[in-house]
A and B are shown apart, each in its own frame.
Chain A
Amino acid sequence: AQSVSQHNHHVILSEAASLELGCNYSYGGTVNLFWYVQYPGQHLQLLLKYFSGDPLVKGIKGFEAEFIKSKFSFNLRKPSVQWSDTAEYFCAVNAAPGANSKLTFGKGITLSVRP
């Protein structure tokens, strides 16, 4: 069975600070990895995804994530956060390469950015 662990339930940063949100997963096979964001009052949106290839993936809004297979990790980073980044962030995995396989999400991290 797949599982996802996200460290820190709530992160508070000031604008322009650097961000790193941790994500570790557990699964016996090959995975696809995702970061989703849920802005207040909005639906889940995909920030970035990793299927294969370069383990450093870039997403929207200046976010990037690095897949480290040996550590079963897929941490999300942003060099300089903005107030508009205040949201809930979810790491998710599914089994590769199967199409449409179920997503297993972590519990999420609430990011609050102070102006």
Chain B
Amino acid sequence: ETGVTQSPTHLIKTRGQQVTLRCSSQSGHNTVSWYQQALGQGPQFIFQYYREEENGRGNFPPRFSGLQFPNYSSELNVNALELDDSALYLCASSREGRSYNEQFFGPGTRLTVL
């Protein structure tokens, strides 16, 4: 266990709907990164939040958005869901600082879009 929790575990949505995924970071960590892992692929970086600000973004459209709260937990929002959004969504928490350049992953949320 890494101390990183995600909810919900599984989610089924239909095309065009919106979804919110949640992540609680490990104690003492101030940075949350989100990744999308499609079936048979490695995780792909969506974006990162540090001190409540977006701190880097991967090649994902604007309908993928996020938030980080003062307690460093985070949300990933996806609007206008498409079939290709079906994937495992992972969040990873870490702490700023050269000595802490390791990201701890949560169990993921499995999103299925029908």
Q: Which residues of A are interface residues toward B (Cβ below 8 A)?
A: 4, 32, 34, 36, 42-46, 49, 51, 90, 92, 94, 96-108
| Residue B98 interfacial (CB < 8 Å) | yes
Q: Which residues of B are interface residues toward A (Cβ below 8 A)?
A: 2, 4, 31, 33, 35, 40-45, 48, 50, 55-56, 58, 90, 92, 94-98, 100-108
Report which of B43, B50, B108 forms a contact with A103, defined as CB distance below 8 A.
Answer: B43
Given contacts A43-B107, A44-B43, A44-B90, contact A102 B33 (CB under 8 A): yes
How far is A108 from B41 in the complex, measured between Cα atoms in Å? Answer: 7
18 contacts between A and B (CB under 8 A): A43-B2, A43-B90, A43-B107, A44-B90, A44-B105, A46-B102, A96-B101, A98-B101, A99-B31, A100-B31, A100-B94, A100-B100, A101-B56, A102-B45, A103-B43, A103-B45, A105-B44, A107-B40
Report which of B44, B56, B108 forms a contact with A43, defined as CB distance below 8 A.
Answer: B108
Q: Are A99 and B48 in contact (CB under 8 A)?
A: no
Q: Are A100 and B105 in contact (CB under 8 A)?
A: no
Q: Are B103 and A100 in contact (CB under 8 A)?
A: yes
**For residue A105, which residues in chain B have a CB less than 8 angstroms away from its CB?**
35, 42-44
